[in-house]
Amino acid sequence: MTSSHQLTANFDNELSFSQFLENFQNSVKRAFHEIDNIDVFSGTRGFPQAVLDEIKSANPFSLVIPKKYGGFGANVKQNIAMISAASYESLALSLTLGINNALFVQPFSKYGQESFKQKVFDRFVKNHALGGLMITEPEFGSDALNMQTSVTLKENKYHFEGKKHWQGLTGMADFWLLTGRRKSENGNLMRDIEMFVSDNSVPNQKIVVEEYFQNLGLYQIPYGLNKLDVLLPEDQRLIPHSTGVKMMLDLLHRSRFQFPAMGLGFIKRLLDEAIEHTKTRLVGGKTLLTYDQVQQRLSRMQANFTICSAFCHKSSQVADIENDLSPLGLEANMIKSITSDMMQESAQNLLQLVGAKGYKLNNIAGSAVVDSRPFQIFEGSNDILYQQITESVIKTMKGIKEFNLSKFIKDFTPRAFDFVKKMLDFDVNIQMSQRNSVIFGQLISRIYAIELVSQLKVKTFNNDLADNSIELLNFDVTTLLSQYNSNNSTKVIIDYQENSYWYDK
């Protein structure tokens, strides 16, 4: 095995990266197939130490650390390739890498102060330190901008006070990117967001874990309730290029652009499992593979693989850290929400195809369902993101005074236009209900997916795969359009117990 030191010295070209990737893939395979047999569910939480040691031997947590601080200096394309390789073996591992690389290292590299960066990255490179991000509070999740964690300047130090929960790597990360709001002299919290890095090894900076959660899936990642009562020096503050909110959006959008990295390896693994299973399982004297409905599920999973590949390709072109992604909410939100929907859909398809065996705790099909579900909730709940996608499109429509969807699509997604122009030839009613705006957001996102798959297709990507996925996306657009036009406005009946017991009838 090539040592990580040699790789650091040589990491200037694609060859050395492919060497790194191969080394990492071998390490992950050893970790999950030899050291820890992933097919045997032990019920233990956290990564076994031997697994973590094996994975760390390839230095994946230093991948995106800039070269001048001793890291590999990898770009977003390379990070996506590595995280995707990890998610083929373990979604929890790929999320751990995603948290460390996208939610800590990338924003800290971009906005951290020079005097502190060397110290922090030294610990990553030499001691395999890990970082995480704290945004969510018990009372403020989706409504994160109203967070109550306060930041007060006290004798040249910033006092962070508050509670945060559901942070990936709770109690395990060495460094945390903390978010809060500056308290003004009259005691009110200011609107803008402050970000600081805390170092758990320093007295007065340690984050206290008040409770560990029994998370439903992703067993290897610790989550919990954290108490923040820390004093941080000025050089641990992240310096925004304009406002703190824009800095946080740049961070979140870059992370959303990298969701397909976690999605791709995961979906590919599920697809491989599904093909293998249906090739060998006999039902009614025939292999499952020969049934049409089974083909439908498999081709869905395969389309998800293709769409995710197209997203990875797009993200690798736009999401490098030099770029300001704060204005790219529309693209980032579409990519994140479809990716997480496809992960969950693929897991549900595999579980259906595997049948009862998949419902055992030690089968990947069942665990894939619970492990992938929170991707639709964290970093922006999909229900909210789809609505925001619609708001953004309608704002643009108003700006250019073009409400005919077909005409709008012609500029927005020119390659997808040919596929969907006829069915979208209507004026959008911009006064839509929230539920309709969610459907409309899903619709626009699928059109965008057609666009990105078409762009990948011209790069000589497997045409059969591209054509199949475009056909299925067209089917989705048709279905969503009919939902959009069906004008459902049902409301829950809160006192539903009244006159509703079938037995009395």
Ligand X SMILES: Cc1cc2nc3c(=O)[nH]c(=O)nc-3n(C[C@H](O)[C@H](O)[C@H](O)COP(=O)(O)OP(=O)(O)OC[C@H]3O[C@@H](n4cnc5c(N)ncnc54)[C@H](O)[C@@H]3O)c2cc1C
| Residue 502 beta carbon to ligand X: minimum distance, rounded to whole angstroms | 30
| Residue 472 beta carbon to ligand X: minimum distance, rounded to whole angstroms | 26
Q: Which two tokens stand for residue 328?
A: 């790219």
Contacts of 468 (CB under 8 A, 6+ apart): 299, 302, 303, 306
| Residue 33 beta carbon to ligand X: minimum distance, rounded to whole angstroms | 25
CB nearer ligand X, residue 381 or residue 406: 381
Site of interaction with ligand X (CB under 6 A)? 99, 132-136, 141-142, 166-168, 218, 374, 377-379, 381, 383-384
Strand spans (E) along 100-191:
131-134, 150-154, 157-165, 175-182
H helix or E strand, kind and range, residue 19 = helix 14-29
| Residue 170 beta carbon to ligand X: minimum distance, rounded to whole angstroms | 8
Q: Which residue minimizes CB distance to ligand X?
A: 141
CB nearer ligand X, residue 460 or residue 489: 489
Distance CA 289, CA 310 (A): 26
CB nearer ligand X, residue 132 or residue 265: 132
Distance CA 353, CA 369 (A): 13
CA–CA distances in Å: residue 488 to residues 9, 435, 436, 438, 482: 61, 9, 9, 13, 11
Ramachandran quadrant class, 155 (left: phi over 0; alpha: psi -120 to 50; beta: rest): left
Distance CA 398, CA 378 (A): 30
CB nearer ligand X, residue 73 or residue 374: 374
Strands 175-182 and 150-154 come out as parallel
Sequential DSSP letters for 102-120: IIIIHHHHHHS-HHHHHHH
Ramachandran quadrant class, 59 (left: phi over 0; alpha: psi -120 to 50; beta: rest): left
CB nearer ligand X, residue 72 or residue 108: 108
H helix or E strand, kind and range, residue 225 = strand 224-233
CB atoms within 10 A of CB 175: 23
CB nearer ligand X, residue 132 or residue 263: 132
| Residue 433 beta carbon to ligand X: minimum distance, rounded to whole angstroms | 11
CB nearer ligand X, residue 166 or residue 175: 166
Distance CA 234, CA 142 (A): 29
| Residue 145 beta carbon to ligand X: minimum distance, rounded to whole angstroms | 11
CB nearer ligand X, residue 132 or residue 358: 132
| Residue 316 beta carbon to ligand X: minimum distance, rounded to whole angstroms | 23
CB nearer ligand X, residue 134 or residue 312: 134
- Amino acid identity, residue 190? M
CB nearer ligand X, residue 115 or residue 434: 434
CB nearer ligand X, residue 103 or residue 420: 103
| Residue 383 beta carbon to ligand X: minimum distance, rounded to whole angstroms | 4
Q: Is the dihedral of CA 299, 300, 305, 311 positive or negative?
A: positive
- Buried b / exposed e over 8-33, threshold 16 CB at 10 Å, is beebeeeebbebbbebbbebbebbbe
| Residue 217 beta carbon to ligand X: minimum distance, rounded to whole angstroms | 8
Phi and psi dihedrals of 421, rounded to 5? -55, -40
What are the helix and strand counts (H, E) for the chain?
17, 9
160 class by beta-carbon count within 10 Å (0-12 exposed, 13-18 middle, 19+ buried): buried
| Residue 351 beta carbon to ligand X: minimum distance, rounded to whole angstroms | 19
| Residue 492 beta carbon to ligand X: minimum distance, rounded to whole angstroms | 14
Distance CA 179, CA 244 (A): 10
CB nearer ligand X, residue 231 or residue 370: 370
| Residue 256 beta carbon to ligand X: minimum distance, rounded to whole angstroms | 12
